[in-house]
Amino acid sequence: MDQLQAILQRTFGYTTLREGQRPVMEQLLAGRDVLSVMPTGAGKSLCYQLPALAMPGITLVVSPLISLMKDQVESLIHCGVAAAYLNSSLTERQYALALRYAGEGRYKLIYVAPERLDTPGFLRFAAGTPISMVAVDEAHCVSQWGQDFRPSYLKIPDFLAKLPRRPVVGAFTATATPEVRQDIERGLGLQTPFEIVSGFDRSNLFFVVEEPRDKKTALLRFLRQHQGESGIVYCNTRKNVDEVTELLRQDKWPVTRYHAGLEPEERRRNQEAFVYGSAAIMVATNAFGMGIDKPDVRFVVHYNMPKDLESYYQEAGRAGRDGEDAVCLLLYGGKDVVTNQFLIELRDEKDDSSEEAYQARVSRDLERLKQMTFYCHTQDCLRATILRYFGEKALGNCGKCGNCVGGDMEDVTDLGRILLQAVDQSGQRFGMGRIIEIVTGGDTGAVTSWSLDRLAVYGRLAGTSRDQLRAVLRLLVSQGCLIQTEGQYPVLVLGEKAGDVLQGRQKLFLRRKRSAKGQKAAEPVRESAGDEALLERLKAVRGRLARMRGVPAYVIFSDKTLREMSALRPTAVEQLRQISGVGEYKQSQYGKDFVACVQKYLQEKGEA
């Protein structure tokens, strides 16, 4: 067994490295800088934590968020690793003490806020202690193009230059376009780094888009299907956050909220309630999430459509970091598009960029919004749509998204043909609303003044629901039969594939709207390996241990570990090591409690 494997099993209790982890670790151990792009939940932290334990000396982890540091350090300590953090949450005395211990070499890993790097005290420590590696977490914060730019990240190369010996540097991020990757390489001064971009697919996430008539009802229905689970509901405005929070509160859900309009103290309290488990549901704006490492988030609902797929995938990706099944539901509404357009075109007073730069940004963002909207309308596999957007090849049928599962196909070729004729006959100058008005025989001033009631298609589809027609129009757009123009008043014109449908060479199929019941069936059924009653008891033991130690439950054991335990039903501490997530330290610290729980359970059932 090689060294990495041995540490993996002993300290972290895992059996195998995940895809992409080993090459990163091996390069770092060989002394080569690394730039690693991995989707959220893929297991970035282990990529530096494990080599840190294999190297002599100390590893510094530069991390932008205090909450994240605290989390990671607690998790490490509960794996028996000597770790600490240095940031503004410590009092002066605590900080001085931690720095002294660090200088004495008591810690293997030290998490540090970027602002600390050029403070005299820290520099003195760093110069006097052997530092083998610097891992830069959320490395995209160095890029001035991103939304998460942190000027203090730019100090990192200066800091490295001040060290007696340059340590190997690893940069880690979940979001990086080629430009941002370049920024990271330059901004951090990486030396011919080994670059690795891991697959973006998150196979345990189930994606669904719904366009409900009433989002509130849809949300409540969804939550009832996910009783007892922890999740995030993202809204686009503070006002929506407050409204949805109130809605859920009235319906007696254990809910809390987060947005930039709240006092820091309330934000901190609410975040903690969510992470530590006293409030299972977090309703928040996109201000919430970065640095939240809670691995057992079982669903992420978007109450509003975000502005681009980058944001969507990042936010939705906060579900299921533990690798267990989780659901990402997007509740789409046409109004979301308008709101986003407005926000994109808004010009900040402080924005002193040139008119040209402003226009360039707007048109780039509008294009992204278009792709996001396309995701909401597409009949194609949702996972494939996302992956293709990020430049990966993806086949069309994942079998694990709302579009691949459930819902009968309905032949709508006739509707499609008539709609195309309507666009053609009316001169390719109207938007969706007007086209629908024509085919349903609408009787408005516009219809008469443009003489649209004289068209052959006028009223041909009277009685068909507007929603259905809108869905078919969107299908026609996504199939290239129609093109929707840009601008404030988009109109429909015929696309190059229109002829295929008009002349009967291509049929059109629309997925029939799922009923509430169908929706449920379409979602993944969590494998119920294991014993549910025992699982509940094991969770209770975990909760007690977590409270005693003042840490989130998942720091003790993940849901996945407990599930395996409930299936294996270990009655001796030694058996625990067969379970993923149980390393040496956790076995010795908590083993007895869990084994006792299993034994008692079996006795009561008369099986022991």
Element of type H or E holding 459: none
Q: Give the Cα separation of 195 and 176 in Å (integer).
A: 12
- Please provide residue 40's backbone torsions phi and psi, each rounded to the nearest 5 degrees: -50, 135
Q: Give the Cα separation of 548 and 546 in Å (integer).
A: 5
Considering the complex, state which of residue 267 and residue 383 has its C-beta at the smaller distance from Zn ion.
Answer: 383
Q: Of Zn ion, ligand ADP, none, which one sits near residue 41, judging by CB under 5 to 8 A according to partner kind?
A: ligand ADP
Task: Say whether 446 sits in a helix, a strand or coil.
Answer: helix
Give DSSP secondary structure letters for 280-328. -EEEE-TTS-TT---TT--EEEESS--SSHHHHHHHHTTS-TTSS-EEE
Q: Interacting stretch for ligand ADP, rule CB under 6 A, among 42-50, 275-283, 335-343, 418-426?
A: 42-50
Q: Of Zn ion, ligand ADP, none, which one sits near residue 381, judging by CB under 5 to 8 A according to partner kind?
A: Zn ion
CB atoms within 10 A of CB 152: 16
Considering the complex, state which of residue 512 and residue 560 has its C-beta at the smaller distance from ligand ADP.
Answer: 560
Q: Which residue is nearest to ligand ADP (CB)?
A: 43
Task: Scan residues 273-302 and list those touching ligand ADP (CB under 6 A).
Answer: 293, 295
Task: Scan residues 551-570 and list those touching ligand ADP (CB under 6 A).
Answer: 558
Number of residues that bind ligand ADP (CB under 6 A): 18
Considering the complex, state which of residue 44 and residue 181 has its C-beta at the smaller distance from ligand ADP.
Answer: 44
Query: Helices 466-478 and 355-377: crossing angle, nearest 10°?
Result: 110
Task: Scan residues 13-32 and list those touching ligand ADP (CB under 6 A).
Answer: 14, 17-18, 21
Q: Give the Cα separation of 248 and 220 in Å (integer).
A: 8
Q: Of Zn ion, ligand ADP, none, which one sits near residue 267, judging by CB under 5 to 8 A according to partner kind?
A: none
Q: Of Zn ion, ligand ADP, none, which one sits near residue 333, judging by CB under 5 to 8 A according to partner kind?
A: none
Q: Give the Cα separation of 431 and 490 in Å (integer).
A: 6
Q: Of ligand ADP, Zn ion, none, which one sits near residue 271, judging by CB under 5 to 8 A according to partner kind?
A: none
Name 594's Cβ contacts closer than 8 Å, sequence gap at least 6.
538, 541, 565, 570, 576
Task: Scan residues 310-349 and list those touching ligand ADP (CB under 6 A).
Answer: 321-323
State the minimum distance, in angstroms, from the CB of residue 403 to Zn ion.
5
One of 4, 25, 28, 42 touching ligand ADP (CB under 6 A): 42
Q: Of Zn ion, ligand ADP, none, which one sits near residue 570, judging by CB under 5 to 8 A according to partner kind?
A: none
Per CB under 6 A, 38 contacts ligand ADP: yes
State the minimum distance, in angstroms, from the CB of residue 13 to ligand ADP.
9
Task: Say whether 274 sits in a helix, a strand or coil.
Answer: helix
Element of type H or E holding 110: strand 109-112
Considering the complex, state which of residue 110 and residue 404 has its C-beta at the smaller distance from Zn ion.
Answer: 404
Are the beta carbons of 382 and 375 closer than 8 angstroms?
yes
Q: Of Zn ion, ligand ADP, none, which one sits near residue 590, judging by CB under 5 to 8 A according to partner kind?
A: none
State the minimum distance, in angstroms, from the CB of residue 556 to ligand ADP.
12
Considering the complex, state which of residue 81 and residue 330 has its C-beta at the smaller distance from Zn ion.
Answer: 330
Cα 156 from chain centroid (whole Å): 27
Q: Of Zn ion, ligand ADP, none, which one sits near residue 42, judging by CB under 5 to 8 A according to partner kind?
A: ligand ADP
Per CB under 6 A, 71 contacts ligand ADP: no
Are the beta carbons of 475 and 413 closer than 8 angstroms?
no
State the minimum distance, in angstroms, from the CB of residue 211 to Zn ion.
18
Are the beta carbons of 598 and 545 closer than 8 angstroms?
no
One of 29, 46, 77, 362 touching ligand ADP (CB under 6 A): 46
CA atoms within 13 A on the CB side of 190: 25
Cα 335–Cα 337–Cα 342 angle in degrees, nearest 5: 100
- Please provide residue 288's backbone torsions phi and psi, each rounded to the nearest 5 degrees: -100, 135
Per CB under 6 A, 138 contacts ligand ADP: no
Q: Of Zn ion, ligand ADP, none, which one sits near residue 114, judging by CB under 5 to 8 A according to partner kind?
A: none
By the criterion CB under 5 A, which residues form the site for Zn ion? 381, 383, 398, 401, 404
Per CB under 6 A, 205 contacts ligand ADP: no
Which ranges in 136-187 belong to alpha helices (H)? 156-162, 178-187
Diameter of the chain by CA atoms? 89
Q: Of ligand ADP, Zn ion, none, which one sits near residue 293, judging by CB under 5 to 8 A according to partner kind?
A: ligand ADP
Binding site for ligand ADP (CB under 6 A): 14, 17-18, 21, 38, 40-46, 293, 295, 321-323, 558
